[in-house]
């Protein structure tokens, strides 16, 4: 398999013109373009005009020395990602450490071996090209996610508006149709809200949730009702058990709704027709409250437990009614619960299948 040729522009900074000629002649023969600079000040002028792919920097120079030049490079966002290889006649270990701590990626002593210098230059240029390619891929992915999410939000907004019109005409609908219309409207409303939050967090580059007092009963009951029609379609009984006294937890309402939707949907999805799902909430010790979702599905194998919270970590169990499964549900649950400073555990359940327990901090 042929190697992909590594090319690039190298800025060579040395106060001795002869040294630049020697380095330049070696690298030019290998196809690299050379930018010479006889001082740190001149190097910055060269950088302002054109950005190289790599810098060879002498340590000992009159005026601004190489260590100072490197620190200034790394403190400037325009040049911080350019790899710097130090060249020096000094073979002092302390100086090598200082050079690397200042931001250098390598250190070559003079007089240098030509093959070694070329090898170091080729290696660090290849690494930079690989990093640049990964960065471009990440930017392309983020741009695509932003576009898809934005367009999906537009479609969901249309569904939301249509369902609002249907709700306004609820008097002409039967009870079942009224309930289904309300479910469609709420699902579209939550989805639009989630996508707005996603777009905001996507722009900020991180997941952000609020922690405020919310009534756990309201969210758990609402999640069960949203998915009761799907359970009835598979003849699955869904039991809800809540204590008489309300439980107030510190959580993000939108995030908690998404967590519950994922978990209740999974329980119904992996429970066979005629099975059972049980949802409950209760206070725990140490100031927490737990939501438990049990199902009578196949449960999880030992191998499943090792990858159940991984992105796209598909498990051995398969949906029992032809439903789709992306392998993202539990990953999303874990991320959101962790962001709310909670915990999620999966274990064997009382119904013979799996039990997912989400613990959140109670307001005291």
Residue 333 has pLDDT above 90, yes or no: no
Please provide the distance, in angstroms rounded to a whole number, between the alpha carbons at the two ends of the chain: 65
Q: Where are the domains of the chain?
A: 9-112, 140-208, 210-361
CATH class of 9-112: alpha beta
Tell me which architecture the domain covering 210-361 has in CATH.
2-Layer Sandwich (3.30)
Q: Of 305 and 19, which is predicted with more confidence?
A: 19
Q: What was the pLDDT predicted at 3?
A: 46
Contacts of the segment 178-187: beta carbons below 8 A, 24+ positions apart:
179/229, 180/229, 183/226, 183/229, 184/159, 185/160, 186/226, 187/226
- Beta-carbon contacts of residue 231 (< 8 Å; ≥ 6 apart): 237, 238, 268, 277
Alpha carbon distance 152, 99 (integer Å): 50
Half-sphere exposure of 191 (CA within 13 A, CB side): 20
What CA–CA distances, in Å, run from 154 to 159, 161, 210, 300?
Answer: 9, 11, 25, 38
Q: What was the pLDDT predicted at 69?
A: 94
Nearest to 280 by CA among 301, 264, 256, 269: 264
Confidence of residue 203 (pLDDT cuts 50, 70, 90): very low
What average pLDDT does the chain have?
A: 84
Among 103-107, 189-193, 263-267, 318-322, which is the least confidently predicted range? Answer: 318-322
> Residue 269 in contact with residue 356, Cβ under 8 Å?
no
Confidence of residue 364 (pLDDT cuts 50, 70, 90): confident
Among 51-60, 111-120, 227-236, 308-317, which is the least confidently predicted range? Answer: 308-317
Q: What was the pLDDT predicted at 274?
A: 93
Angle at alpha carbon of residue 128, lines to 126 and 131, rounded to 5°: 110
What pLDDT digit, counting tens, does each position of 99-131 carry?
Answer: 999 999 999 988 888 899 999 999 999 999 888
Alpha carbon distance 363, 250 (integer Å): 6
Query: Does 111 sit behind a cis peptide bond, omega within 30 degrees of 0 on the bond before it?
Result: yes
Q: Of 215 and 168, which is predicted with more confidence?
A: 215
Residue 23 has pLDDT above 80, yes or no: yes
């Amino acid at each position: 398999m042929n190697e992909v040729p590594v090319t690039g522009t190298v800025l060579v900074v040395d106060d001795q013109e002869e040294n630049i000629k020697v380095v330049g002649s070696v690298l030019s023969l290998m196809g690299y373009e050379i930018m010479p600079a006889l001082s740190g000040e001149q190097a910055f002028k060269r950088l302002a005009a054109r950005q190289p792919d790599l810098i060879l920097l002498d340590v000992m120079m009159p005026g601004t020395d190489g260590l100072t030049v490197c620190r200034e490079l790394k403190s400037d966002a325009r040049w911080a990602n350019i790899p710097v290889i130090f060249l020096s006649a000094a073979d002092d270990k302390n100086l090598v450490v200082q050079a690397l701590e200042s931001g250098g990626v390598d250190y070559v002593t003079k007089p240098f071996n030509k093959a070694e210098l070329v090898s170091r230059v080729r290696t660090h240029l290849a690494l930079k090209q690989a990093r640049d390619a990964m960065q471009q891929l990440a930017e392309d992915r983020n741009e695509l996610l932003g576009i898809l999410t934005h367009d999906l939000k537009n479609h969901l907004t249309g569904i939301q508006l249509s369902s609002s019109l249907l709700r306004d005409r609820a008097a002409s609908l039967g009870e079942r149709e009224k309930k289904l219309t309300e479910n469609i409207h709420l699902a579209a409303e939550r989805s639009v809200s989630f996508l707005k939050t996603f777009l905001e967090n996507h722009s900020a580059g991180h997941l952000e949730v609020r922690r405020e007092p919310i009534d756990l009963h309201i969210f758990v009951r609402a999640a069960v009702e949203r998915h009761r029609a799907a359970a009835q379609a598979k003849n699955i009984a869904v039991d809800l058990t809540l204590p008489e006294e309300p439980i107030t937890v510190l959580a993000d309402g939108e995030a908690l709704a998404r967590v519950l939707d994922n978990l209740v949907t999974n329980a119904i999805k992996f429970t066979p027709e005629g099975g059972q799902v049980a949802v409950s909430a209760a206070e725990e010790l140490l100031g927490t409250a737990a939501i438990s979702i049990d199902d009578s599905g196949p449960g999880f194998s030992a191998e499943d437990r090792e990858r159940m919270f991984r992105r796209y970590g598909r498990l051995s169990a398969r949906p029992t009614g032809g439903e789709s499964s992306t392998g993202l549900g539990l990953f999303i649950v874990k991320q959101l619960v962790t962001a709310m400073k909670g915990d999620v555990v999966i274990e064997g359940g009382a119904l013979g299948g799996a039990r997912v327990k989400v613990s959140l901090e109670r307001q005291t």
